[in-house]
Amino acid sequence: AQSVAQPEDQVNVAEGNPLTVKCTYSVSGNPYLFWYVQYPNRGLQFLLKYITGDNLVKGSYGFEAEFNKSQTSFHLKKPSALVSDSALYFCAVRDLYNFNKFYFGSGTKLNVKP
């Protein structure tokens, strides 16, 4: 079975500091990984994806994610957090054998304090 896990329910960071939101995956093969962000009372918005190629993926709003095959991780990062980055973040993986199916993590709430 394929899955992703987000080990932290909540991450707190001060504005201007770097942030990391963690995601680990369990996939038998090369994964297709995604990060989405959900602002209050809104649907999910796509941030970035890893399909193949460079391990460092750059996405929207200054976010990037590092794919690490040996650690089976795909952590979301940003060098300098903004208060407006406060939101719920979801990691997701696409089923390798059925592209129509997706598996999401439980979500991590990011709080950026001024």
Residues that bind other proteins (CB under 8 A): 6, 9, 32, 34, 36, 41-46, 49, 51, 90, 92, 94, 99-107
Give the nearer residue to other proteins in terms of CB position, either 77 or 103: 103
Minimum distance between the CB of residue 45 and other proteins, rounded to whole angstroms? 7
| Cβ pair 75, 66 in contact under 8 A | yes
Give the nearer residue to other proteins in terms of CB position, either 67 or 90: 90
Minimum distance between the CB of residue 27 and other proteins, rounded to whole angstroms? 12
How far from 12 is each of 8, 21, 37, 40, 55, CA to CA, in Å? 10, 10, 16, 17, 26
| Cβ pair 19, 78 in contact under 8 A | yes
Give the nearer residue to other proteins in terms of CB position, either 15 or 49: 49
| Cβ pair 31, 97 in contact under 8 A | no
Q: Where are the alpha helices (H) located in the chain, listed in sequence order?
A: none
Give the nearer residue to other proteins in terms of CB position, either 10 or 84: 10
